[in-house]
Amino acid sequence: MSSELGPALEVVDLELAYRVRGVDRPVLRGVSFSIERGRSYGLVGESGCGKSTAALGIVRYLPRNGRVTGGRISVGGVDVLALGGGALRDYHARTVSMVYQNPGAALNPSMRVGDQVAEAFTVLGASGGDAADRALEALRKVQIADPGSVMGRYPHQLSGGMQQRVVIAMALAKNPDLLILDEPTTGLDATVEAEVLDLVAQLQRELDTAVLFISHNLGVISKMCARVGVLYAGRLVEEGPVQTLLQDPRHPYTVGLLRCIPRGGVRKDHGRLDTIPGFLPPLGMELLGCVFADRCTLADERCHREEPPLAAPAAGHTSRCWYHERAATLPREELADIELPAVDRAVAPLLELTELSKVFKQRGHEVQALTDVTAAIWPGETLGLVGESGSGKTTLARTLLGIVAPTTGTVSLDGTPLPPRYQKRSQAELRALQIVFQNPDSALNRRHSVRRILLRSLRKLAGLTGSAAEQRMQDLASRVRLTERTLTQKPVQLSGGLKQRVAIARAFAGDPKLVVCDEPTSALDVSVQAAILNLLVELQSEKRVAYVFISHDLGVVRYISDRIAVLYLGRLQELGPADVVFDGPHHPYTEALLSAVPTVDGGGRDRIRLEGDVPSAASPPSGCVFHTRCPRKLGAICEDQEPPLIEVENGHLMRCHIPIDELRVLQGKEHEEPVTA
Amino acid sequence: MIRFVLKRLGLALITLFLLSVVVFAVSNILPGNVGRSVLGPFATQESVDALNDQLGTNRPLLTQYLDWAGGLLHGDLGMSLQRQVPAWDLLGPAIVRSAKLAVLAFILCIPLSILGGVIAALRYGKPTDKGITVAGISLAAMPDYVSGIILILIFGIWLGWLPVTAQWPEGAGPLTQIKYLLLPAMTLSVVLFGYIARITRAGVIDALDSDYTRTAYLKGLPSSVVIRKHVLRNALPPTIAVVAVQIGYLFGGLVAVEFLFNYQGVGLLILDAARFNDLPLLTAGILLIGTVYLVVTFLADLLYATLNPRIRLGGVE
Amino acid sequence: MSTLAAPPVEARREARAARSERIRLLVRSPLVVFGAIVVAFWIFCALFPGVVCPYNPIFDNNFVPSQPPSWAHPFGTDTNGRDVFSRVLAGSRAILQISVAATLIGTVLGTSLGLLTGYLRGVVDDVASRMIDAILSLPLIITAIFIVTAVGNSGRGVVTLIIGLIFTPVIARTVRAGVLAESELDYVQAARLRGERSHYLMFSEILPNVMSLVVVEFTVRLGYAIFAIATLGFLGFGVAPPSPDWAAQIYQYYTLIDPYWWMTLFPALAIASLVVAVNLVADGIREAYER
């Protein structure tokens, strides 16, 4: 499609603003980068950095009140900003494509999939029949089995992974010069995400398309892109080849960001996660000097006064910092390492789950959400729960808390069985088991002040009123680092991180023995996430509280968990110490899951591809439920017999027909010592 | 889909049953009243009692209800006390007349309202949109007879184009009937425009905001195609469903308009029944209106289900 | 990302600012301001008829009856020799009184009912919802006529009460939907998990979050109440001659519309103006809360 040599995308000094109440608020400030033909470029940043806005600017689909206030964008040599009318439509039809989050919403619900894909061809001039044929081909190319039947379906009849493939098919139908992907796999299961990313990488190679990949996830970017640009508050603060940036970052923000992410098997007892002090600037705020100066521990007076120029520590590697040579020496927050006493397994367990099963009735089908889950949690330990959709981890958490009553099985606290529903539990039992939710926006009552929320919790959970309550509230507040001012505010005035702190304080009001953390940092930015994780670890060390920690982010789970439980289709597949489960030898599913998740450390693991989607919990496969996708399936035994959950090593349980020693060989760990501790 | 249809049907029937109970209960707030209200305050107590006996209003309520409900299921709507004819003989033709008016009103207003709503949404925030929205709010808010009076004055009296009452001479052909019905129909259309235009507008705005519209636009499709195949195709079915519901409401809401134009529709009949304390006719009429509404709502649900692939075909396989 | 919405500006304002933000939004809309002025005008007339009316609206002033509009009588005179202009100005009181009272009754009862059914769910909710559906299958006017007849009294107080009662299920339904949505949110679950009782959850946790919904409902229903009362008045219910009620005036004189159009038109326009004004304000409030 391209007629001239030169970069596929060239953005020069782009300035973009949103008009809010008559005032232009800058969202992108002088952003410049380019992507060569057939290369991939990642744009990474946290919320409010403007990365999605940049993408919208490039495709010319800004909201009503957004406008480009300066700079140039050219795609394939064509000045995109000057296009209008027919030329603009042509640009969309031939040159550029975009794929977003939430593929289900991106497809027209009233139109058959085949017709929608065919539209991408008819707009290029193909006839009806021809377009249909090409649509079929396109679906085949994105590895959809049986594309013929998929063509005739409606979007809601497809799974999330399939929907995204269809969107990708539409996007690549025109063989564009530039493909933009904006968080395309957020919301998809890890194994499905890996498939989609592999597909994109493969297609990119085949079609030689330039790719702009936008994400907040450095792991994904490092896997998919050759070069990366880091956006902060609308400014491109650092740019360069991915590996260089990760190993030798030259901007304090990048340095800080990398330090926030739990990497390389670091665990909570080894060291604290570093955090970036301060808050992300709100979208559209006017900033003097370096955009990062307020939060930079290297910053001096000059940084606050003058915007640093673009420096180039190496060819192709730029940084916007006065002190980029010293960036790696960014002073850490003076945080002492935490003293975490080892979990004493000689005492009785705090919580015992005995053969928990839960069957839901849904439209006449029986959905087995949990089957025979047996586990124990000791005081002060963190049990990480890992699994994809349909694994049952949410159901397990709710059963624990009594929100849902198990069909069979019991939950015992300190040896005493708990009433299955929370309404029947005593106040003491209620205060012992608390929860921190995923979404801080809905977890707090919008109409109550923080003060009121905490005082009420203290009253109900700790039985305190009056000055005693007041005193404890001050303690709690300072423990989670809330200021006096925050106490008087309502949740809507707080940032996500602050809200989550309040939620944590609330859960701890009654000195619980166990707190269920249901994806507590998934809705937060990376820099905020680190602070919350640190807080949870501190509280654990201080109060010897146990956690059941649910997260889809394996790095985080590994960091904070003592032991990890892997769930698949409601069944416990593996349970063991965090290091053992992660390093192996481990269950084939765990193996595949770990290989699917892209990490910043990257490399090392061969991708283990799992075919297809997770089977429906309404009709689980016979025998070992994983056998339909297991790359290490033995044979008929896996189809007929469900393997029992047995202790294969000390403290390490697994549900697999393959003996552990054989797994050790197969997974290439034969040189490691079996676990004895 | 079948399951959806059956479920809706079941709900409609239950609601109908409950309606009959409610109607019966209300009409018997003051039991024994019937005899008194028919004969008037000056009749003797014995004659009142005698009449009550004859009408059976002294029996236990449950028996009365079962009798009445049973009669309904057989198509017997009771007897008008005032005119001493079966209620159905009066209600039947009245419903037909109201239906004519309603249908004419709809034909007049629907195309314009939907068009207005779509245009307003496409020109969101601009003067055209503001104009249509304000017109919509104002027209929907005004009581129908107020618009009616203004229309009567303009078209009936000052311009003299249309007849002021909707009573056409015996045996008039359809065209003449339409001429007589035009003013009341226009009155109704004015109000309906307000509702329908605004609902359409809201639906189209939602569709314009959606991700799939963005996908369509970014494919490079011409805007006419985007609007037709992507925006309207998703925005209109819910609108149609709502519009259909309005039809149901219309039947009884016609009261004021029928009164103003002296049109012998079901609304006016009910009003008369009320004036004369003709409870049997009144309850029969009310139940009938409720039934019409439920039937229309059910059909509207059916229509919506057909247009919405999610319901028509079911979920993920 | 929505194409028509602006990106969220960082929510770090004081609560005061958030509220004044809404008021500012309202004030900026010329339509809302216009509506508010008209409503204020009619309220003033209702409260101080003595100040605005040039002549006594109720008693015969022995003017020449049935005179078309003139300088002395801008809206003409009616068949009883009364100045129509004064009658129109004084007529706002009745309709405002009834509609506000009825809407208040409906809102209070409806909110309570909605709260109970939305929170308690179960059998109570199912039955109540079905009943509400049944009642709502009838148009408001028809139901009102029906109840008035059954009760046998068509006085003003009765009509007020009846309209209020009919509004109850309507408002209950909206409140119920809001309560259902709120109940799904995590903070309610968190409250349950610390052992809060039902009444605390309903009134201290959920109700404050539903209040904005209630306010919007009130203003919207108010417009509808005026509509309904005007219509009922026109049909002859809830009027008390010789009160200068607008609908009553139309009821009296609409048969004489030709040639005495002024006796009907001006009250009709008065109704139109009030109803439209209230709806404009209600719409503005609704939009302000939806942001």
Cα A454 to Cα A470: distance, rounded to the nearest angstrom: 9
- Is residue A96 a contact partner of residue A177, using CB atoms and an 8 Å limit? yes
Q: Nearest C-alpha of chain B: how many angstroms from C73?
A: 21
Tell me what pLDDT residue C14 has: 40
Longest CA pairwise span in chain C (Å): 77
Intervals of chain B under pLDDT 50: 316-317
Over residues A636-657, the pLDDT tens digits come to 888 888 898 888 888 899 999 9
- Is residue B204 a contact partner of residue B116, using CB atoms and an 8 Å limit? no
Residue with tokens 């692939």: B309
pTM above 0.80, yes or no: yes
Contacts of A437 in chain C (CB under 8 A): 186, 189-190
Q: What b/e string do you get for C1-40 counting C-beta neighbours within 10 Å, with b at 16 or more?
A: bebeebbeebeeeeeeeeeeeeeebbeebebbeebbebbe
Which tokens is C186 given?
């995590």
In a domain, C100, yes or no: yes
Cα C272 to Cα C275: distance, rounded to the nearest angstrom: 5
CA nearest B205: which of B83, B272, B92, B119?
A: B119
In a domain, C4, yes or no: no
Angle, helices B87-122 vs B266-275, to 10°: value is 130
In a domain, C12, yes or no: no
- Restricting to B residues 36-95, those with a Cβ less than 8 Å away from any Cβ of A are none
Collect all residues with Cβ–Cβ distance below 8 Å to B68 and sequence separation of at least 6: B24, B78
Contacts of B271 in chain C (CB under 8 A): 145, 235
Interface test with C, best of A418, A442, A459, A495 (most C CBs within 10 A): A442
Number of A–C residue contacts, CB under 8 Å: 89
- pLDDT, average across residues A593-600: 83
Cα A640 to Cα A370: distance, rounded to the nearest angstrom: 20
Of C138, C269, C278, the CB nearest to B289: C138
A327 pLDDT above the threshold of 90 = no
Of B125, B210, B310, the CB nearest to A156: B310
Of A48, A284, A493, the CB nearest to C11: A493
Of B217, B221, B310, the CB nearest to A109: B310
In a domain, C133, yes or no: yes
Tell me what pLDDT residue C2 has: 31
Which tokens is A434 given?
């608390």
Q: In total, how many domains does chain C have?
A: 1
Q: Is B164 on the interface with C (CB under 8 A)?
A: yes
Contacts of A107 in chain B (CB under 8 A): 212, 215
Cα B119 to Cα B129: distance, rounded to the nearest angstrom: 7
Contacts of C4 in chain B (CB under 8 A): 124, 205, 208-209
In a domain, C274, yes or no: yes
Interface test with A, best of B122, B206, B219, B233 (most A CBs within 10 A): B219
The residues facing A14 across adjacent strands are A31
Interchain CB distance below 8 Å, A110 and B315: no
* Ramachandran class of B288: left when φ > 0, alpha when ψ lies in -120 to 50, beta otherwise: alpha
In a domain, C17, yes or no: no
Cα C249 to Cα C267: distance, rounded to the nearest angstrom: 7
Interchain CB distance below 8 Å, C152 and B255: no
Tell me what pLDDT residue C17 has: 53
Domains observed in chain A? 351-564 (3.40.50.300), 570-666 (no CATH)
Q: What is the CA radius of gyration of chain A?
A: 26
In a domain, C254, yes or no: yes
Tell me what pLDDT residue C8 has: 30
Per-residue pLDDT band at A182 (split at 50, 70, 90): very high
Domain region containing C239: 23-52+90-290
How many CB atoms lie under 10 A from the CB of residue A188? 23
Of C4, C236, C271, the CB nearest to B124: C4
Bond preceding residue C241 cis, omega within 30 of 0: no
Tell me what pLDDT residue C234 has: 87
Cα B156 to Cα C264: distance, rounded to the nearest angstrom: 15
Instruction: For C206, name the nearest residue in chain A, comparing CA atoms only.
Output: A445
Interchain CB distance below 8 Å, C195 and A492: no
Contacts of C among chains (3+ CB pairs under 8 A)? A, B
Interface test with B, best of C138, C140, C229, C264 (most B CBs within 10 A): C138
Tell me what pLDDT residue B38 has: 64
Contacts of A460 in chain C (CB under 8 A): 194-196
Backbone φ and ψ of A567, nearest 5°: -110, 140
The order of strands in the sheet holding A365-377 is A365-377, A351-362, A408-413, A416-417
Exposed, middle or buried: residue B310 (CB in 10 Å: 0-12, 13-18, 19+)?
A: middle
> DSSP label at C1?
-
Contacts of B among chains (3+ CB pairs under 8 A)? A, C
The order of strands in the sheet holding A9-20 is A23-35, A9-20, A66-75, A78-79
Tell me what pLDDT residue A669 has: 62
Q: Nearest C-alpha of chain A: how many angstroms from B305?
A: 12
Amino acid at A431: R
Of C145, C265, C272, the CB nearest to B274: C145
Intervals of chain C under pLDDT 70: 1-22, 24-26, 60-61, 240-242, 291
Mean pLDDT score of chain A: 88
User: Which of A69-83, A416-430, A451-465, A604-618 has the lowest average pLDDT?
Assistant: A604-618
Over residues A136-146, the pLDDT tens digits come to 999 999 988 88
Cα A248 to Cα C284: distance, rounded to the nearest angstrom: 56
Cα C217 to Cα C219: distance, rounded to the nearest angstrom: 6
- Is residue C194 a contact partner of residue A457, using CB atoms and an 8 Å limit? yes
Interchain CB distance below 8 Å, B315 and A167: no
Contacts of B130 in chain C (CB under 8 A): 31
Which tokens is B279 given?
């409870």
Tell me what pLDDT residue B34 has: 63
Q: Is A287 on the interface with C (CB under 8 A)?
A: no
Tell me what pLDDT residue C106 has: 94
Q: Which CATH number fits the domain that encloses residue C105?
A: 1.10.3720.10
Interchain CB distance below 8 Å, A461 and C2: no
Interchain CB distance below 8 Å, A283 and C1: no
Residue with tokens 């904006």: A182
Interface test with A, best of C193, C207, C212 (most A CBs within 10 A): C193
- Is residue C11 a contact partner of residue A493, using CB atoms and an 8 Å limit? yes
Contacts of A497 in chain C (CB under 8 A): none
Interchain CB distance below 8 Å, B233 and A94: no
Contacts of A among chains (3+ CB pairs under 8 A)? B, C
A614 pLDDT above the threshold of 70 = yes
Tell me what pLDDT residue A117 has: 93
Interface test with B, best of C33, C137, C262, C264 (most B CBs within 10 A): C137
Interface test with B, best of C123, C140, C147, C149 (most B CBs within 10 A): C149
In a domain, C7, yes or no: no
Over residues B37-74, the pLDDT tens digits come to 666 667 777 777 777 777 666 677 777 788 778 777 77
User: Which of A5-9, A317-321, B213-217 has the lowest average pLDDT?
Assistant: A5-9
Interchain CB distance below 8 Å, B212 and A109: yes
Tell me if ipTM is over 0.90.
no
Instruction: For C11, name the nearest residue in chain A, comparing CA atoms only.
Output: A493
**Averaging pLDDT over each range in A75-89, A420-434, C150-164, which range is the top one?**
A420-434
The DSSP secondary structure of B96-154, one letter per residue, reads HHHHHHHHHHHHHHHHHHHHHHHHHHHTTTSHHHHHHHHHHHHHHHS-HHHHHHHHIII
Contacts of C195 in chain A (CB under 8 A): 427, 430, 460-461
